Structure formats: C-alpha cells, structure tokens
Structure 1
C-alpha cells in the first residue's frame, strides 16, 4: 500500500469517527466514556495523517 492510499484510508476512518461522535453527542443515552474514546482515536488518526503527509 502506498503512503498516499494509506493516508486516504486514514482520512476515511477519521470522517467515519467524526460522524459517529456527532451522532453519539446528540443521543441522550450515549456514554461519555465512549465519546471520549472515539475523540482520542480521531486525534490519533489526525496526528498520523499529519505525520505521513509531511
């Protein structure tokens, strides 16, 4: 897998997680712990995307 395709795959995962976080925040039964876990994963993906893009 090339770096470009890997970065694109990471971006897709980041977008999917972003949408999941938004849905969870709007849902009254969502766990704060789960939302925090998803946000941390989003940040990890973003940092990896940035690292690989430079």
Structure 2
C-alpha cells in the first residue's frame, strides 16, 4: 500500500526537524519520493508570511 505524510510549517527549520523525525522511524527502502513547496503571502506592506510544506510518499 502506498501512503503519504503531509508536513506544514511557517519556518523551514521546523519543517526539516519534523520531517527528519518521521524519516528516522522509516525503513529507507520504503521511501518513494519527497515533494517540497514554499508559498509566500503578503498580508500588508510590512509583513510577508511563508508556508513551507512537504509530502513524503512511502510504502506501508
């Protein structure tokens, strides 16, 4: 069976930490792919919000 795990953080280091924790528990041969995305939204003149997200595709 193929599954996915989704991750979403406001800071890239938080995303990295969360993903590494998940991957530590997974057998390497089960990992199929990792998709990564960054989105930026400007709320006003002074503030820009980032969203760092990723999806791990793996065999269960």
For this structure pair, what is the TM-score category when the shorter chain's length is used for normalisation?
0.3 to 0.5
Higher helix share: 1
TM-score by length of 1: 0.35
TM-score by length of 2: 0.32
Q: Which has more radius of gyration?
A: 2
